[in-house]
Amino acid sequence: MTSKDPTKKKVTNLPTRLNIQLELALDVVELFDGARLTQARQLAALTKSALADKIDVSAAAVGQYEAGTIRPRPELVLRLAEVLGVPVRFFAFSAGRPKASLDVSMAHFSSLRSTRAYERERGVAYAAQVWELSHALGERVRLPSIDLPGWVAGEVVPSVPGEPAAAARELRRRWGLGEAAIPHMVRLLESKGIIVTLLPFSEAARVKAFSTARLPRPVVVLTTDRDDVYHLRFAAAHELGHLVMHGEAQPGDIEHEREADAFAAEFLMPSASIMPSLPGRVDFNVYARLQTAWGVSIRALIYRSRELGLLGDMPYRRAWQRLHELQESLVVQPEPIDAYPGEQPVLLKRALEISTKSGVGIEALADRLHFSTEMINFYLGEEVNKLPEVDVSDFLEPGGSPARMGEVRMFSRAPRRRS
Ligand SMILES: [Zn+2]
């Protein structure tokens, strides 16, 4: 960078608002943090060259900004903020500001083949910012302390048995859960100090759930693409399995995935207590009741029956085929997540409510994080968890003609979490 005086001289004749923005950008340039550019670029799901195209520089230049070898000009910082949808101040280094250094290798991803690298990077950048938000909130209110066996400040040194079912039983014992059904999986994780968040991007179906133990607080990222509460609960238990069993993440590792599934099955359906109620032959009437009682899908119950030796090869395959038919005819349907408040993350939202009451609201939090308030709302899932408002104002407009049948939408489903 050249000295800042000439640039300053250059901007004095510009319109005031832009002038102020450029003054701010000048300050930000001095403290420009390349890692923040990486984070914002990944969140916007842009490759370096795609970003370079948008701001009219070379991909190599973007690489250099991110590596910190050169700093962008103030005008370019403004452009970056605009293109990436972050405040100009987002790019400035600040000593006290929470900063999560996380990369894809540190997260338990189920598959590397089904996703593109930039999709996983986006997921990880999202998890990092959600953690940053939780950290800033944790400075204002007391979040639940982390109660995860083997958890030592930002890593897990597994302290449960290596065998997944035994690990699940041990965790149930330590958490005092007995052998009963788990009423609310997401709320349980939050009560143990684990951050749970729902991935709001359209590629969620491919990225699937993932988790990381490499931040000062564990983060579990779930997806709602199937809009099935049973699927969500199983995914939450699966990620919990990774967190207690697998100290080192091995993204896409088949053995880790199998172990996490076995953990989830025993955690949600302990063999000792579910065995007596599982039928010895295929019986969808019983499965449907057990589904409600245990909060697991019929699919999981059939799989569990096979696993516990209650169904042989042939009945198992027939059950699978029959389930497929019942789903096709919509007799068996997914259970919408919206109907289950206990399976929706609330920890950060409630923390913000308390913080706001004590005088530190969303604006102060945004200042602390160099985020916009929109970003905070996005991370809290604000705009998506609220049911859409019923609009009946069309009947109230003076002189308005009565609407015909079918024109008034009395209510609709809450929008799915898609970007
Ligand atoms: Zn997994």
Using 50, 70 and 90 to split pLDDT, how confident is the model at 10? Answer: low
What is the 241 CA–ligand 1 centroid distance (Å)?
Answer: 8
- What confidence tens digit (pLDDT) does each residue in 344-390 have? 999 999 999 999 999 999 999 999 999 999 999 999 987 544 455 56
What is the 206 CA–ligand 1 centroid distance (Å)?
Answer: 13
By three-state DSSP, how is residue 155 classified? strand
What is the 301 CA–ligand 1 centroid distance (Å)?
Answer: 20
Using 50, 70 and 90 to split pLDDT, how confident is the model at 169? Answer: very high
Under DSSP, the state recorded for 419 is -
Burial of 398 (0-12, 13-18, 19+ CB in 10 A): exposed
By three-state DSSP, how is residue 152 classified? strand
- What confidence tens digit (pLDDT) does each residue in 252-307 have? 889 999 999 999 999 999 999 999 999 999 999 999 999 999 999 999 999 999 99
pTM: 0.85
Domains observed in the chain: 4-91 (1.10.260.40), 104-339 (no CATH)
What is the 194 CA–ligand 1 centroid distance (Å)?
Answer: 16
- CA 109, CA 391: separation in Å to the nearest integer? 41
Q: Concatenate the DSSP letters of all residues of 285-318 into one string.
A: HHHHHHHHHHT--HHHHHHHHHHTTSS-HHHHHH
What is the 109 CA–ligand 1 centroid distance (Å)?
Answer: 6
CA atoms within a 13 Å half-sphere pointing along the CA-CB vector of 100 = 29
What is the 260 CA–ligand 1 centroid distance (Å)?
Answer: 6
- What confidence tens digit (pLDDT) does each residue in 183-209 have? 999 999 999 999 999 998 888 778 889
- CA 294, CA 268: separation in Å to the nearest integer? 7
- CA 238, CA 223: separation in Å to the nearest integer? 13
What is the 23 CA–ligand 1 centroid distance (Å)?
Answer: 47
What is the 254 CA–ligand 1 centroid distance (Å)?
Answer: 9
Among 90, 126, 124, which residue's Cα sits nearest to residue 107?
124
Q: What is the torsional sign of CA 57, 63, 68, 70?
A: negative
Using 50, 70 and 90 to split pLDDT, how confident is the model at 12? Answer: low
Rg (CA), the chain: 25
